[in-house]
Structure 1
């Protein structure tokens, strides 16, 4: 059973690596703060001290991690993060802006790792106590374009970024399938657009959700 997001507003950003989630989350945080809203900006994995340890395992562990074990690690991070960061912020009436949430697990571990997407979603919903975002912004980008952006950053790829093209194609299709199934929750934006155009579209949608 889905539990409500208390009195605050829960906003999540999804999409492949290199789609611009961090940039757009920062711009949205700035816009909301200028309008007097208390904002908590966080991420999964790694939004807590426990999450930082899990993030190091799932993204930077040198050896293989079994797909089901990977899904369970993300779920453990999510459970602790929601209980200690997200729900308390929402109960205070804050706006939570989060980089990745349960839709990433369904796309990456479900579609990408070819596990059962329904089981992954059920696991994530159980871990999060049924909490769904008020709005999920999906920044959609061709994986080849995303890879070129990551190459320009000249940083070492993490475990997921280093996966093959077919993996990232499945992840993108997984995200788009989720958005099609829940159009009221998702805002899908072409991440190849200019950053300010993307930010404006996000602000318009978020403004309609504000009291």
Structure 2
């Protein structure tokens, strides 16, 4: 049996991790070989991004770090799919475009740049599931996690992120 690569996208608090976990459990119970992953990854470049140290560099350099992390991650995903596994990924290419273009002032040329630099390093998923949620509800959910609010979790920023996701869905289906 061949594997599959399924991506869950959406703004913070949309329910990506929860849905990914539930689908993983259900598929595993039905006998499928499932692996879960996320971006940024938890090793190497992804761990550096998650550490918060990336905030001390320029926004374009940070965007390039996400691309570098994805390049390594894509190689791992390809191996899993080739081995017949179903790979469920919490965030992928669209998250980088939605979030980083919002950080780069959300202008269309920045979004185009992000799409171009990512396009070379990604595998096209078999399915992308975009979870859309009202920004206030999403951030309300984030607030109940008991975690520190990140630079990405401000209301105005998340509204731009949501708008970017909806634009990507409209443009690329």
Common fold by TM > 0.5: yes
The 3-state SS of whatever aligns with 1:40 is: strand
Q: Structure 1 residues 69, 50: CA separation in 2 closer, same or farther (over 3 Å shift)?
A: closer
After TM superposition, give the deviation of residue 159 of structure 1 in Å.
Answer: 2.8
| Residues 112-121 or 36-45, more deviating | 112-121
Give the total of aligned pairs.
169
Separation in 2, partners of 1:62, 1:38: 34
Equivalence for 1:147:
139
Which one of 30, 36, 39 corresponds to residue 35 of structure 1? 30
Q: Deviations over 1:64-121 (max 9, x none)?
A: 43221111010011011111x2010011111100000000111111244325112101
- What SS class does the counterpart of residue 84 from structure 2 fall into? coil
Provide the C-alpha distance between the structure 2 equivalents of 1:39 and 1:47, rounded to a whole number of angstroms: 18
Shift of 1:48: 3.4
SS of the equivalent of 1:10 reads: strand
Per-residue CA distance 1:142-200 (angstroms, 9 max, x = gap): 11111111112221122322xx32221111011011111233xxxxxxxxxxxxxxxxx
For residues 48-59 of structure 1, the aligned pairs below 5 Å read 48-56=43-51
Q: Distance in 2 between matches of 1:47 and 1:63?
A: 17
- Is the aligned partner of 1:126 residue 2:120? yes
TM-score (norm 2): 0.89
Does the 8 A contact of 2:48 with 2:54 survive in 1? no
CA contact under 8 A between 2:55 and 2:62: conserved in structure 1? no
Q: Does residue 109 in structure 1 map to residue 100 in structure 2?
A: yes
User: Which one of the candidate residues 132, 151, 164 is aligned to 1:159?
Assistant: 151
Residue pairs, 1:15-26, within 5 angstroms: 15-26=10-21
Q: Which has the higher contact order (CA 8 A, sep 6+)?
A: 2
Other-structure match for 1:3: none
**Secondary structure at 1:153's aligned position in 2?**
coil
